[in-house]
Structure 1
């Protein structure tokens, strides 16, 4: 979290720690299959890794050779996101597994993705009250964890051009701009000025347009 070190994981089933000061990389974690996700948790000083071996290794203390805990997943780990104490893990069967890192060895909640197709990425809300999920169908779901806020969940389409649909491969929240999890009430506080915008209509704005004859009745 101080910007001095980079962690990387790949198809060699190893996680390497790269000190940016110029030292050689050091292997700090291993799995039995390619590693899909790596996240540093500064509040705990631990590293968490997710792999296609269907395991979430919680949590690597970099001074030790073995993880403190290994959590079996129902399927391959495709994505994970951490906003302490919230961690969300997306697996190959469209399950979204939620952990409270204050009790890290127990699942807090398991949710089936609101999106129809394969999960590609997740992003936990900055206020830890929910998460975003993106899929291969060019669609994003907004999901709240509180059962009383389920009416605020929604999905939207994105990354489409004509008939071409692209996967949503990454999601993140801008640290200083609009916070989706708080909605318009936070973006437009009661103290904000109310503005009225005037537009001079042109003839084309008010003139009726001819109906296109499609040949159908």
Structure 2
């Protein structure tokens, strides 16, 4: 079938594990500084809108056409770098988390943005979720708190104290997972949002970089700075399925292995397979049930700082920009800053047929 971006059929057979970047299209007019987060609108029966947060203090919203062409639709600013962004479920609003300690929401119809909440320290992560009383926003900050915001009222609807600074956070249905410094992972049932459903220490030995919830909300993936990913189920009855694996590591040379941070993990909305992307400038697609790598892709020429799938899983967006993993001296003027749109072929993200039998 002719798919997005013309015919994206891979020249390699479906059985090969090396993916193809030749069909990938660069986003027009990308940010001017490192890209911190990407979010596609999940709203059904609407065009693909992509929100991007970056260190140039801006949030930009683009419309992505079926052929991969993109057009800027709106932008708004924080007074300091923007560290996280998310779309509301109906696609009408964008929320953003700023180093200026503010949580903002932009209404796309009116193109008005307002500060809906403030933390005592920079805000690292923000997510929309639907509660019984309507659309809510949850934000996680380096002030060691997670705060819930009701768009119809002033001040936080509730505050949850964490053990340490919030580094990463994700929401799927009623599951909220929070990753903090010192490798704490807090799991919250959003039907009872003011207490932890459970707390665990990350099974990975090094700092947590990212948490990402399964599409069916039965568990989550954790990525660390040390080239490892862990698959964790929420309930004890599923704990036998927990495992971790190595990724984003260079081949051994003279008994030395260079390991790279796993900067982002994104789940395919249809198949439940997932991507990892890292400081090494590569991304990979994985099947957690078969414990198998589906595809690995060549180096894209710079660190991948953020990734996301669109609502149908037909586009995989990845941001190339400096991630500070090697200190300020490596952040040169020539370092690439771009967002690439990868058309997802049928076989790239599909689980292996044998997965259910294992």
Smaller-chain TM-score bracket: 0.7 to 0.9
Q: 2:125 aligns with which of 18, 37, 51?
A: 37
Quote the residue 2:112 is aligned against: 24
Residue 169 of structure 1: CA displacement? 1.3
> Are residue 188 (structure 1) and residue 276 (structure 2) matched?
no
Q: Is the 8 A contact 1:178 1:187 kept in 2?
A: no
Q: Which has the higher strand share?
A: 2
User: For residues 63-101 of structure 1, what are the alpha-carbon distances to aligned partners after superposition, in whole Å with 9 as ceiling and x for unaligned?
Assistant: 111111101111001111111211110110101001111
Q: 1:13 aligns with which of 93, 101, 107?
A: 101
> Are residue 127 (structure 1) and residue 292 (structure 2) matched?
no
Residue 146 of structure 1: CA displacement? 2.1
Q: Is the 8 A contact 2:188 2:197 kept in 1?
A: yes
Q: 1:4 aligns with which of 87, 92, 95?
A: 92
Quote the residue 1:92 is aligned against: 181
Aligned positions, number:
190
Q: Calculate the aligned-residue CA RMSD, in Å.
A: 2.3
Q: What CA distance in whole angstroms lies between the structure 2 residues aligned with 1:36 and 1:182? A: 27
| Distance change (3 Å), C-alpha of 1:65 and 1:178 | closer
Residue 178 of structure 1: CA displacement? 4.5
Unmatched 5+ stretches in structure 1 = 193-217
Q: Which has the higher contact order (CA 8 A, sep 6+)?
A: 2
Quote the residue 1:56 is aligned against: 146
Quote the residue 1:213 is aligned against: none
> Are residue 167 (structure 1) and residue 261 (structure 2) matched?
yes
Q: Is the 8 A contact 1:140 1:158 kept in 2?
A: yes
Quote the residue 1:68 is aligned against: 157
Q: What CA distance in whole angstroms lies between the structure 2 residues aligned with 1:61 and 1:39? A: 12
Q: Is the 8 A contact 2:249 2:260 kept in 1?
A: yes
Quote the residue 1:200 is aligned against: none
* TM-score, normalization by structure 2: 0.50
> Are residue 140 (structure 1) and residue 229 (structure 2) matched?
yes
Q: What CA distance in whole angstroms lies between the structure 1 residues aligned with 2:173 and 2:245? A: 26
> Are residue 149 (structure 1) and residue 238 (structure 2) matched?
yes
* TM-score, normalization by structure 1: 0.80
Q: Is the 8 A contact 2:289 2:355 kept in 1?
A: no
